[in-house]
Chains A and B, each alone.
Chain A
């Protein structure tokens, strides 16, 4: 059996077991742990010298339409798989007590996990799309049942945004398929890439626009971002971790896999649009983040803002910036998941994340404070964390492409660098408001973060620091997979 198929099936089989009545938490954690080990093994055993697609296996589903389930992995895939399994395990581990419908809760999380793993390892565009959709209903349920605050409105908004975006995307993919000459029609990414490279097939530029809107909305590109912070603020911590950490990277992954190789010309010609949008993400959303008065909204908006840097990496269109973007995808996935995990821990203890009500928590929650310090440093992009490595590569790459894209790129870089300062402002302010200052009497008796939650956050921080001190660990893998 293909190891990638196993990776997809394990969470699904575990959900079946849970539905049949086995202990939800133990079953889910067992499957997630096996997946983590398996993805580390695959990551380690990928043959860098040979490069290209490995662990490939193929099943024919609708041969007449050219729909086949093709699984395979290259360096970028394996990096994203590692991210997915790390965040999944941490998200399942972090919160041991579920008040209601425990089985359904774990099933929903496992489905999201299976969906993203399937999406990342599919070489067939249609399956890449289909697997991503597997997360739609679980997200709806997770926010609606276990969420907090204005959870119903948030769940509706996210579901309708994501559902509509998916169908825009589907139309884009179908249009791409139909626009191919009949005899070479295929959904196979590998073939598509070859066709595009050899000049046998040049898709129309307007299809790129549809894909940009579809994938972009899933990544919360400005101005289609408003679902994200609301959903993350209302979602239970593990759902926010998986969604912001992993699921959101699917849109970027799709752009890298489909748009970059197939639409180099269109991307080049319409780059001004992408740059304008990402300036919106960094500049405008940056200031919106500063204005937030609650930690969950701050983290939610910051995750929208940081997508701007990854888009900058794509817009600069050279190998260095692509490397930076891939690095940032990995780094941001881990750091935002850790941030949401800690948000959940704080909310569980205090019942509020409002800056006005919190303060001085470092006295009663010293370890939580320390971990949160680490996470905010990572999120700001301090050297030593993978986020720094990613951002610096993006900026270098962007600088290289100034001659190609001119003044607009300079504006984007200036705003991007200023954005780093803005992130420092809001993250440090959040840290100060929550952990420093005088402590209210009612917070003095709080118990510090449990060993379980501690470990699950540290599990995310370790790879973040490894990749920070030794970026080649990730870069070696992704470079070979990225278009030149």
Chain B
């Protein structure tokens, strides 16, 4: 009970909200999303009081852990879900357009509640240290995401995105299970804490089947975190999915995937023969991901798609950090990068959502002259683009700096050089958005209305980007 209290609280919250949704007669169900955010906020506060720490020796201690990673990322996931849930009311008009429903409100109730269940799954996943647990948690998170991606039932793009996500997601799950069985078959354990000892006692020729299993698991994780060579689903799914869901996919789902990857690599790190081979693979993947993500983003004209490629690019920078896991500084670097990534990515999706609502599309050209139609939205987008590009005094800069520093320390000079080239490419495509907002003339001059919730979210996320960029010490302290 003590072990998974936070997850249980989140699931209970979801169930209560579902019941309210079912029995409430009110026609406008937007209040459910505020209620959900409030409840998640409560759980977030609870996480500062209560640590999910299993008693050593208890059966659950074999399945979950309460290390720095899990404590930090549980809060990270809660914050992400709060922001995504709060985006839902602004998304209401789109829901009403594409979701057939006798009741008014386009099913916004479920739309706000499902991310909460997915959040519980991901929270479980980031503290799991057993393959079986990881798999079950992953399924809980992913199945809700399948529903969310296809939520706009009468929109073809959303359906197409959902089908792609379902088929490829199921395929990657297959890889994961198959990989786990190979690892279990060779070592006799599914537990990441005992895995190194089990491997150490293996004979030389058992390593090949083991590596095969690890490779399959890496394939499945590469799908989750959207890195080369399993990134091809990202642009289509991101573009087709409802915008809040896209934001959720690119932040929460990616973070949880990275945590599992880090845990797996930490376990394998202790075996020198494996560590070398796997590090080489990760370096190669990081390089290819950086190249693919950044250079494919350059010609994009649709902002949602561009953000999809940009999320692949950022996975590349994060992999640079993962390739340097041997250094103790890599975990703070990766964690901090994610904290910044949360603020800047969610802020850009939020602005995108509001602008698309008012201009009728999410092409970059829809942002033309935004600075004259809404200085606030344009300023917020400018800030998040600056941070994504890695301009000093924003979270993105300190994040990249720490990743580059730790990679240089580990001697990955080629990777850092490549990182610099891709950062320069990033300047180009992020500034394309800035150009549209500030250089071009708007097609109409009507001001874009911004709701109170959105203003609040912009203020909080924007302040987060600047605070992390100017005074990163508190977040770094939380990662030590």
Contact = CB atoms under 8 A, between A and B. Distances in A.
Interface of A: 19, 60-65, 101, 104, 126, 129-131, 133-134, 136-137, 140-141, 144-145, 152, 155-156, 159-160, 163-164, 167-168, 170-171, 174-175, 177-178
A63 B408 contact: no
B146 interface: no
Contacts of A171: 404, 416-417, 420
Contacts of B473: 60-63
B8 interface: no
A148 to B, nearest CB: 13
Contact of A167 (B423, B438, B476): B423
B232 interface: no
Given A130-B397, A167-B423, A174-B404, A160 B439 contact: no
Interface of B: 371-372, 375, 379, 382, 386, 389, 391-393, 397-398, 401-402, 404-405, 408-409, 416-417, 420, 423-424, 427-428, 431, 434-435, 438-439, 470-473, 476
Nearest to B386: A137
Contacts of B472: 61-62
Given A63-B473, A133-B392, A167-B423, A140 B434 contact: yes
Contacts of A175: 408
A284 B101 CA distance: 73
A177 B391 CA distance: 20
Given A62-B472, A140-B434, A174-B404, A133 B428 contact: no
A144 to B, nearest CB: 4
A174 B408 contact: yes
A145 B439 contact: yes
Max count, chain B CB within 10 A of own CB: residue among A134, A145, A168, A170: A170
A278 to B, nearest CB: 26
A131 B427 contact: no
Contacts of A144: 435, 438-439
Interface of B is mostly: helix
A159 B427 contact: yes
Contacts of A141: 434, 438-439
B371 A178 contact: no
A104 B378 CA distance: 11
Contacts of A167: 420, 423-424
Contacts of B471: 61
B337 to A, nearest CB: 14
A131 B397 CA distance: 12
B417 A64 contact: no
Nearest to B426: A163
A101 B405 contact: no
B379 to A, nearest CB: 8
Contact of A152 (B392, B423, B439, B476): B439
Contacts of B386: 137
Contacts of B405: 65, 174, 177-178
Interface of A is mostly: helix
B440 to A, nearest CB: 9
A102 to B, nearest CB: 12
A76 B392 CA distance: 25
A150 to B, nearest CB: 13
Contacts of B476: 62, 64
A178 B324 CA distance: 15
A101 B372 contact: yes
Nearest to A103: B375
A137 B420 CA distance: 19
Contact of A131 (B389, B392, B438): B392
A186 to B, nearest CB: 14
A291 to B, nearest CB: 31
Contacts of A160: 424, 427-428
A155 B432 CA distance: 12
A178 B434 contact: no
11 contacts: A62-B398, A101-B371, A126-B401, A133-B397, A160-B424, A163-B424, A164-B427, A167-B423, A171-B417, A171-B420, A178-B409
A247 to B, nearest CB: 15
B392 A129 contact: yes
Contacts of A170: 401, 404, 420
A140 B386 CA distance: 12
A329 B423 CA distance: 31
A413 B372 CA distance: 53
A102 B408 CA distance: 44
B431 A164 contact: no
A145 B438 contact: yes
A168 B420 contact: yes
B427 A130 contact: no
Max count, chain B CB within 10 A of own CB: residue among A62, A63, A126: A62
Given A101-B372, A104-B371, A145-B438, A140 B431 contact: yes
Contacts of B417: 171
Contacts of A131: 392
Contacts of A64: 476
Contacts of A133: 391-393, 397
Contacts of A134: 392-393
Max count, chain A CB within 10 A of own CB: residue among B379, B401, B434: B401
Contacts of A163: 389, 423-424, 427
A133 B402 CA distance: 18
A177 B405 CA distance: 9
Contacts of B408: 174-175, 178
Contacts of A60: 473
A126 B397 CA distance: 11
A313 B69 CA distance: 53
A159 B392 contact: no
A164 B392 contact: no
A171 B390 CA distance: 14
Contacts of B439: 141, 144-145, 152, 155
A137 B424 contact: no
